[in-house]
Structure 1
Amino acid sequence: MSESTDDHVAHKLYARMHEHGESTTEAAEALGFAAADVARARERLLRLRLFNPQTETTVDSAVALARGLESHHRALDQLLEQHVMTASLVKDYLSVAARRGDDVRVEFYERDRLAALHQRIDECAAMVKHEVAAMHPPAKWTREGLEAALARSRGNLGRGVRIRSIHAQSMVNDPLIREFFQVWLAAGLEVRVTPVVPTRMLIYDRQVAIVQSEPGDPAGGAVLIRGALLVRSLTALFETLWTSASEPQDVPRAASGDALTGQQTAVLRLLATGAKDEAIARTLGVSTRTVTRIVGELTALLGAGSRFQAGARAARLGWLD
């Protein structure tokens, strides 16, 4: 059964339980749903935090959305805190370890040594044997730069190297990056996107890492770190982001929400509270038909199969912050 059909069953099941105070079994019997369909719908509602398995009751959609946003923000806070700690290690402590002769070597590339940095990146790419892991925050890319990186990646892929890259979700709006997403995937690269990428980072064989020294300044230089112990920690940061990131095709183009009209934004915020079309229409002073049309536009824009899925995706994209 398709995802859209599963979501339709989940929507109907949730609405019936919520409106009539019925159990899962009672609602499924009233709706005539098969047991297998109900099981998938139950799992979907659990993932959306719309179902309490202990009490076998529904959770108000506004409460579920608030909890989801709180959880998402906590995860981002932890991620950013970890990045600050990593930056502190790089800035204040790694040189001490290097002077002691520990298994850590650090090379600093200031903004006036970017040519040397690019040469070092080329050397690392040529020597990698097993895996490249990359993180890319929002940046201004040129076609020439992307073509050069693609040629390097194709050479590595031909040698059996696994290449994974995480990009800032806002880059989905860039036509050039959207084009290259398709090219990268067709070439064999693994690509995902996530709302927050704290800094640019390249990791080679979990032994060497190149980290942008100034997160807000791509031209501000970088730090090259050699040493399995510390690079393993940086790899763990990458893996955490990779696990929670999305496939590019699952993210709408308007990833920043900037393309929404004021009326669409208002409807989306009211949807997040669990308001029905009639209540939204009264609040905004428009017809119910207008609200229904706007809800349809939002679900299409978000690539969602229902208003519930639209709310969940909008929250994940940060449109409701």
Structure 2
Amino acid sequence: MDSGAFSGDDGVARSLYARMRQEGESLSEAAAKLSLTAADIDRARDELTRLQLLNPETQAATDLTAALNRSLHSSHRMLDNLVEQHVKIATLAKHYLGLPERMDNHANIEYFSWPRDRRQLHDRLDELSELAEHEVLDMHPIAAWTRESLDAGLTRSEANIRNGVRVRTLHAQIAMSNPLVREYTARWRELGIEIRVTPVIPTRMLIYDRTTAVVQTDPEDLDAGTVLIRGGGVVKSLAAIYDYCWTTASEPEDVPRSADGSSLTEQQRAVLRMLAAGMKDSAIARSMGVSTRTVTRVVGELTVLLGAGSRFQAGVRAARLGWLDIH
């Protein structure tokens, strides 16, 4: 490339970052379009990484405002690096804040495949959480929760609460039978997170300030990937759906026996086992020596408790939760 095309190493870094943000290109793609030399690329990469404008693993440009926020917060936490942080912030504000961004009057959509783009998606969630100013809404269907995944969400929520952001979370009612979820429910409430439960969760979803939504592509298949939607009326519609679900949901303690499968009565457990075996109400009633009406009532209780739409689905969900193994 022509050595006079940019003014110094920082000019190369700024031009490279501007290209990546405007065109949505990776570092290597933008560098090729700008005809940068290998030495220029290395120096620009180091500069952008230092300024936290480049994800070192994905080699993708990060959000400028998020980079500024991280720098500001870090400057208050790390007194030993105060001078370096202030220099970094000044550089960002002076050389990068005025760069043009790609604009779109309509909804902007990004797709993340799973699990290939898992790390990139988590990085984007971290950015969105840092940028949230008013509220974060999330809803979660039944899932194979791990302590690692719950800790990651808790860390983001702690930062939101400290910044005065309201955090609300909706969980599937049957998730409360998971001891790990019950443990974190108590921690969420202590932190100030509002939580409700409902029998049916339409899909996995996160909404930030009612302007950005992260939604699972297929409610029945996590491997189908995730979409991030910015702006447009779509996000407002999703927020309205969330508001409806929240209004009709219940506090965890208001749902009888939903918090622990082991709290089932002996009668409920016996009916559940025979229900899972495919027996009809009349056969269950004869086996237990009770009336068919009693069995029908218990089946109705179990169906509501499990958030199921049918007798068969109730048996399947009970088996998945391990309730049929409780003695």
Q: TM-score, normalised on structure 1?
A: 0.52
Q: Which residue is 2:109 aligned to?
A: 106
In the alignment, the residues of structure 2 paired with residue 286 and residue 212 of structure 1 have an alpha-carbon distance, to the nearest angstrom, of 44
SS in 1 for 2:110: strand
Q: Which residue is 1:121 aligned to?
A: 125
Q: What one-letter code is carried by the residue in structure 1 that aligns with 2:304?
A: R
SS in 2 for 1:152: helix
Counting aligned pairs with the same residue, the percent is 40
Q: Which residue is 2:261 aligned to?
A: 254
Q: What one-letter code is carried by the residue in structure 1 that aligns with 2:216?
A: Q
Q: Which has the higher contact order (CA 8 A, sep 6+)?
A: 1
In the alignment, the residues of structure 2 paired with residue 175 and residue 144 of structure 1 have an alpha-carbon distance, to the nearest angstrom, of 15
Kept after mapping to 1: 8 A contact 2:213/2:228: yes
Matched, 1:158 2:162: yes
Render the CA deviation track for 1:181-203: whole Å, top value 9, x for unaligned: 11101110011111111211000
Q: Within 5 A, what are the aligned runs for 1:304-315?
A: 314=302
SS in 2 for 1:165: strand
SS in 1 for 2:127: helix
Q: Within 5 A, what are the aligned runs for 1:44-55?
A: none
With over 3 angstroms needed to count, the CA separation of the structure-2 counterparts of 1:313 and 1:161, relative to structure 1, is: farther
Kept after mapping to 1: 8 A contact 2:271/2:299: no
SS in 2 for 1:261: helix
Of 178, 191, 196, the match for 1:192: 196
Q: Which residue is 2:234 aligned to?
A: 230
Kept after mapping to 2: 8 A contact 1:169/1:255: no
Kept after mapping to 2: 8 A contact 1:170/1:256: no
Of 212, 228, 243, the match for 2:216: 212
Q: Within 5 A, what are the aligned runs for 1:1-321?
A: 101-111=104-114, 112-251=116-255, 252=258, 253-254=260-261, 260-263=268-271, 284=286, 314=302, 316-317=304-305, 318=307, 321=311
In the alignment, the residues of structure 1 paired with residue 227 and residue 120 of structure 2 have an alpha-carbon distance, to the nearest angstrom, of 12
Give 1:101 deviation, angstroms: 4.7
In the alignment, the residues of structure 1 paired with residue 202 and residue 299 of structure 2 have an alpha-carbon distance, to the nearest angstrom, of 25
Render the CA deviation track for 1:122-144: whole Å, top value 9, x for unaligned: 10000000000001011111112
Q: Which residue is 1:48 aligned to?
A: none
With over 3 angstroms needed to count, the CA separation of the structure-2 counterparts of 1:148 and 1:286, relative to structure 1, is: closer
With over 3 angstroms needed to count, the CA separation of the structure-2 counterparts of 1:151 and 1:230, relative to structure 1, is: same
Give 1:311 deviation, angstroms: 8.8
Give 1:214 deviation, angstroms: 2.3
Kept after mapping to 2: 8 A contact 1:170/1:255: no
Paired residues, number:
194
With over 3 angstroms needed to count, the CA separation of the structure-2 counterparts of 1:257 and 1:239, relative to structure 1, is: farther
SS in 2 for 1:221: strand
In the alignment, the residues of structure 2 paired with residue 165 and residue 313 of structure 1 have an alpha-carbon distance, to the nearest angstrom, of 25
Give 1:212 deviation, angstroms: 0.8
Q: What root-mean-square deviation, in Å, do the aligned CA atoms of Structure 1 and Structure 2 show?
A: 3.6
In the alignment, the residues of structure 2 paired with residue 209 and residue 242 of structure 1 have an alpha-carbon distance, to the nearest angstrom, of 16
Q: What one-letter code is carried by the residue in structure 2 that aligns with 1:126?
A: E
SS in 2 for 1:133: strand
Bigger Rg, structure 1 or 2:
2
Render the CA deviation track for 1:273-315: whole Å, top value 9, x for unaligned: 9xxxxxx9xx647678xx9xxx9xx9xxxxxxxxx9x898656
Kept after mapping to 2: 8 A contact 1:104/1:226: yes
Kept after mapping to 1: 8 A contact 2:272/2:302: no
With over 3 angstroms needed to count, the CA separation of the structure-2 counterparts of 1:123 and 1:258, relative to structure 1, is: farther
With over 3 angstroms needed to count, the CA separation of the structure-2 counterparts of 1:250 and 1:265, relative to structure 1, is: farther
Kept after mapping to 1: 8 A contact 2:109/2:227: yes
Q: TM-score, normalised on structure 2?
A: 0.51
Unaligned runs of 5+ in 1: 1-99, 268-272, 274-279, 299-307
Kept after mapping to 2: 8 A contact 1:213/1:221: yes
